[in-house]
Amino acid sequence: MTDPDVELLAAALRRDSADLNLYARVLTEKLADSLPPGAVRVERGRTVADRLAGRAGAVTELDVTLGDQRLALRTDRGRVTGEIRHEVRGIVLSRRPVALDEWLHVLARSLADAAASDARARAALERFLT
């Protein structure tokens, strides 16, 4: 994908990023078919009321693994924080906190790189953008 395509993808991701619950749904439902199984992990915090009502609970963490890069979003008291980790065989070599916009751009770039080398990923991303 070219840089304008990456920016288009980042913009498409950004439009749904205001609510981490919605954002987790976008990544798991719309992009999950472009990522290998297990690449997207969602953690939820369930209150007693959630359990009694049978609800899944609010998303507290969203973790996306692409190659040796792990992108995490966490929410704590309404504040969303991003982190980019470089991992090799489960060992974290570097960890860097980032703002949401940078997190989105890195995610878009990583997805674009995956789409450039995988026809299935490219087709899934094209469906997401249209």
pLDDT by residue for the chain (130 residues), tens only, comes to 445 455 665 665 555 555 665 666 666 666 666 677 788 888 888 889 888 888 887 778 888 888 888 999 887 777 778 899 998 888 889 999 998 888 888 888 887 777 777 776 666 666 666 6
Nearest-angstrom CA–CA distance, 72 and 61: 7
Backbone angles phi and psi of 106, in degrees to 5 = -65, -40
Nearest-angstrom CA–CA distance, 81 and 101: 11
Nearest-angstrom CA–CA distance, 39 and 71: 10
Nearest-angstrom CA–CA distance, 62 and 70: 10
Task: Report the amino acid identity of residue 63.
Answer: D
Q: What is the pTM of this model?
A: 0.70
